[in-house]
Chains A and B, each alone.
Chain A
Amino acid sequence: MLSAGLFCLAALLLFTITYYYAEKYAEQGELEEIGVEFARTVGDARASNFLLLPEVIARRLRERGAEHSIYLLQDRAGRKLAGNVPPMKPIEGPTRLSRNLSGDLRYPVAEGHTLENGQYLLIGQDLVLLGDMHAVMVRAFASSIGLTLLFAILGGLLISRYILRRVSAVSETSRAIIAGDLSQRIRLRGVDDEFDHLAISVNAMLDRIVELMKHTQQVTNDIAHDLRTPLTRLRQRLERARRADSGKEARLEVLDRSIEDVDAILKTFGALLRIAQIEAGGRASSLVAFDFSRLLTGICEDFLPAARDHGRHLSAQVSSGLIVRGDRELLMQMTVNLIDNAIHHSTAGADIRITADSVGGAARVIVADSGGGIPPEERERVFRPFYRLEPSRKAEGSGLGLSLVAAVVKQHRATISLEDNLPGLRVVVVFPPCEDQGAGAAHRELAFDAG
């Protein structure tokens, strides 16, 4: 409807403008002729000092026909002396006569001047041609507007029906999905138009949602298992102790083990909470640019003695002046988790090497160990909460170390990849580029003492 209205408006505008200019043109031409006639009439009468002017006018009227010509001569006082229109207030120059003066003339155009003797002469013409043209144009435009309107309405109806059909297809599918059938997808019509693009995007979104739901389901199962297992053990032990008739020693033992279990549960709980906090952290929270090199070097120094006590050879090569925009505490914990993992998932004699440099303005840190590594098919899954590689299912640690690392990496919009260190595991974390990244030609080299 709106488009139909707009079309009509445009057509009307076109009509008006065209008519206006046509009219102006015709008028202009006519006025020129009137000017010539005026000069001639005055010229003819001047010889007689304008005394014969009324006769000249009468003759002219006869020659040119009084139907469409306009002549008027009036004296100073406004009394009509000759002509075929009633007297009027003198108007100098070209003019259009008003209705009541021109009788039933349609487009009277005239030019009037006061003569040297004080008399006022007006000569004009009825633009009949223009009148005809006007009628023709009105007819033409009326019919074209009519047709335009018809087409516009028709076209509008067709288009809106088409759009409505596509849109209702989308709403219907959406309703089915909302009702619970997640397998539904919006059908593509294969015409590669905006609707198809929309359908593709929405379908992709639905795929993602299904994937996330499956993932959440998996995580919930894992969490339930990892919290329920120690809780079950705890409950059973306490219940058994209650039934049994044991001595003080045994009871103390039960209490000690129970406290241990509770601590383990709390630790898991705390780690989960921490990860949730990080993930809910929000982008802008306390991201500050700081010296990442110093942080890394500090942590490596902290771990050197402990690594040696565990029989691991820890070494580091850290370029100086690496800047990272982030949360210092979180990055500390991330680094510590990675080094902890390297120590605990390798065996005595293993090498652990930490490297840090900048690649294209982006800080990069690599923690590589020569331990057991992670098989390629597991590399996606190890970031899941509680996920453990089969052999270490019952090992110490909450199973959340890498989940926390993943959460911190995501918070910092960094990337993490797990690669084969041949042998062992290589963890590569790359941060987004930071403007004031130092080139860091110098680097600190740390190694365990030979002693």
Chain B
Amino acid sequence: MKILLVEDDVEAAQHIAVTLDEEGHQTTLAGNGRDGLAAAQSGDFDLLVVDRMLPDLDGLTLVANLRAGRIDTPVLFLTAMSGLQDRVTGLHAGGDDYLVKPFEFVELLARVTALGRRPRRLAVEMTLQAGDLVVDVLRRRVRRAGREILLQPREFRILEYLMRNQDNTVTRTMLLENVWEYHFDPRTNIVESHLSRLRTKVDKGFTPELIHTIRGTGYCLRVPS
């Protein structure tokens, strides 16, 4: 993906850029808000990673301007502000996701991938498929190899999220935020507990294994090649 990174902290920017490029992306750097806005307006990028606190034009205004100009490149905000309202403000300004500094690189990579593949303004698919696993989102029905699988509401949402991010690694934090809407980290590992039960229902007794644990990162639903 072609990524534009707008970040004024030079060292941090370089770390992020190198990490992204190692994953196969092409990162362009902008050191302040105005340069960032100008670059973003060229519309050439697949994803924008924007620091909220920038010296001249702050991140929120930058994105708000872009959206007003009908540019809907996905935006990931980076910020040191972890306040409860800050996230809402960021999303209202037109951001698509929000990552609090400092973050783990795997977290950044996972979210970048998830955002990058998200088709904006296209119809949301209502039937998801991975191998012989079929999920009917509207009717809340799950079948594998023709057999009906009964899932609890939470389990269904986890499966839906994994499938919409098929082939990409999804971190624990992403699951907590999107499936449970917990914007904090409970001490008890509820993600793991739910995942293991989901696996038992969806993978056990079927081949191939679809839900994988990626050590140190998160989970991934994919059809092994």
Interface residues of A (CB under 8 A from B): 266, 270, 273-274, 277, 286, 301-303, 305-310, 327, 329-330, 332-333, 336, 339-340, 343-344, 396-397, 401
Contact = CB atoms under 8 A, between A and B. Distances in A.
Given A302-B154, A302-B190, 9 more contacts: A274-B82, A301-B154, A302-B180, A303-B190, A306-B192, A306-B194, A332-B182, A333-B184, A336-B184
B86 to A, nearest CB: 10
Interface string B85-100: 1000000000000000
Given A309-B193, A329-B183, A343 B188 contact: yes
B146 interface: no
Contacts of B83: 277
A329 B84 contact: yes
Contact of B187 (A301, A302, A327, A340): A340
A273 B83 CA distance: 9
What are the 5 closest A-B residue pairs judged by CB atoms, nearest first? A306-B193, A305-B193, A340-B187, A306-B190, A306-B188
A380 to B, nearest CB: 23
A48 B154 CA distance: 130
Contacts of A397: 187
A306 B82 contact: no
A396 B192 CA distance: 18
Contacts of B180: 302
Contacts of A344: 187-188
Contacts of B187: 340, 343-344, 396-397, 401
Interface of B: 82-85, 102, 152, 154, 180, 182-184, 186-190, 192-194, 196-197
Contacts of B82: 270, 273-274
A306 B196 CA distance: 10
B190 A305 contact: yes
Contact of A336 (B84, B85, B154, B182): B182
Contacts of A343: 187-188
A386 to B, nearest CB: 16
A303 B182 CA distance: 13
A302 B183 CA distance: 15
Nearest to A304: B193
Contacts of A336: 182, 184, 186
A339 B182 CA distance: 14
A272 to B, nearest CB: 11
A101 B182 CA distance: 105
Given A301-B154, A302-B154, A305-B194, A277 B186 contact: no
Contacts of A330: 84
Nearest to A306: B193
Nearest to B102: A266
Given A274-B82, A301-B154, A302-B154, A339 B188 contact: yes
Most buried by A among B102, B180, B182, B193: B193
A306 B182 contact: no
A311 to B, nearest CB: 12
Contacts of A306: 188-190, 192-194
A212 to B, nearest CB: 26
Contact of B186 (A274, A305, A340): A340
Contacts of A301: 152, 154
5 contacts: A305-B194, A305-B196, A306-B188, A336-B186, A339-B188
A302 B192 CA distance: 11
Contacts of B183: 329
B28 to A, nearest CB: 28
B186, B188, B192, B194 interface centre (most CB from chain A within 10 Å): B188
Contacts of B184: 274, 333, 336
Contacts of A401: 187
Nearest to B179: A302
A310 B188 CA distance: 9
A275 B206 CA distance: 47
A344 B193 CA distance: 16
B191 to A, nearest CB: 9
B84 A340 contact: no
Nearest to A344: B187
Nearest to A401: B187
A372 B157 CA distance: 36
Contacts of B196: 305, 309
B205 to A, nearest CB: 17
Contacts of A305: 190, 193-194, 196-197
A397 B186 CA distance: 10
A396 B180 CA distance: 23
A336 B180 CA distance: 12
Contacts of A327: 84
A303 B188 contact: yes
A286 B88 CA distance: 12
A119 B35 CA distance: 113
B188 A340 contact: yes
A274 B185 CA distance: 13
B224 to A, nearest CB: 26
Contacts of A308: 193
B74 to A, nearest CB: 25
Contacts of A396: 187
Contacts of B102: 266
B84 A277 contact: yes
Nearest to A307: B188
